[in-house]
Amino acid sequence: MKQILHWSWFLLFCLPVDGNSHLDLKKWEDIKFISHSTGDLLLDVFRSDDKQLRSAILCLHGGFWAKGSKKFMHPLALALVEKGYVAVCSNYRLTDVAPAPAQLHDVFSAIRFLRENSSDYGIDPKKIGVTGSSAGGYLAVMSAVFDYGDKSARPNAAVGMGAQTDLLSPHIQHSTVLNWSKFMGGFYHEVPQNYLKQSPIVHLTKDDPPIAIICGEYDKPSTRANAFRKKATQLGVPTWLTEISGAPHGLLKSSKHRVIAINALDNFLKSHLGKKDKNSEQRTSR
């Protein structure tokens, strides 16, 4: 599937992670990757201005699946370009137009689009990772474990930041937050089967790609993914945990915490993208 590319050049662009670093940047904006009756979904692509084939990272925004935009992930994307990746920010349908699993299907569509059009952006199609914050972190993890029946739509690695990995956790079962009901088509006591079907831990298998978890010190215990990581380790799926000291759930908001998260992302993805036979679990110190 080919698209007409809207692109721009930015010379000597100063990235936010390192004030002394300048990088020639190439950017494509508002590329349509799928159309629904509710409208087109768009993505942005960032990369350094060179001919090198690079790993790509799809960045997914948070917002409880009810709000947010791909633009929220631009600072992260630019930092990942600084680290040597092609960074992609995409939208997905929000709960005002569709409940789960529509959002996950949109992530799969974005990954498939990147593989099908990898040569347009200098992407290595065998090295596509996905990350996200909060709701986007959940989608990143879910895209790695859910068998969509289409290998071209699965990532080669995933990193969930502040990601819920077990939707049967007590605080979710007892939640009265309306966003959960909108996302799942009802509260847990009304549609428990939906929460089971959309819970990442249920779908973990030994064939899943490496999955890392990043959380803040003050995040909920469930986002540390203890049960999820234990099961992943038992299955031989590589998994890391990075807990950022002093960080809240929104760990990308502070520049200090964001730098730690970006370094953890980079360490994990460079260790695993395109590689196999790495089964040890590691924990990054605070």
pTM: 0.88
Q: In sequence order, which residues have a C-beta less than 8 Å from that of residue 256 and are 6 or more positions away? A: none
Q: CA–CA separation, 255 vs 185, rounded Å? A: 36
Print the SS3 string covering 28-70. Answer: EEEEEEEEECCEEEEEEEEEECCCCCEEEEEEECCCCCCCCCH
The arithmetic mean of pLDDT across residues 72-98, rounded, is: 97
Q: CA–CA separation, 64 vs 279, rounded Å? A: 32
Residue carrying structure tokens 């089967």: 193
pLDDT tens digits, 230-272: 999 999 999 999 999 999 888 888 889 999 999 999 999 999 9
Q: CA–CA separation, 43 vs 33, rounded Å? A: 7
Domains of the chain: 23-277 (3.40.50.1820)
Cβ pair 98, 67 in contact under 8 A: no
Copy the structure tokens of residue 249.
């759930």
Bridging pattern class, strands 239-244 and 211-216 = parallel
pLDDT tens digits, 13-48: 334 444 435 578 999 999 999 999 999 999 999 999
163: closest CA among 110, 90, 228, 215? 215
Q: How much is the mean pLDDT over the chain?
A: 89
Q: CA–CA separation, 262 vs 284, rounded Å? A: 13
pLDDT above 70 coverage of the chain, percent: 88
pLDDT tens digits, 172-210: 999 999 999 999 999 999 999 999 999 999 999 999 999
Cβ pair 41, 90 in contact under 8 A: yes
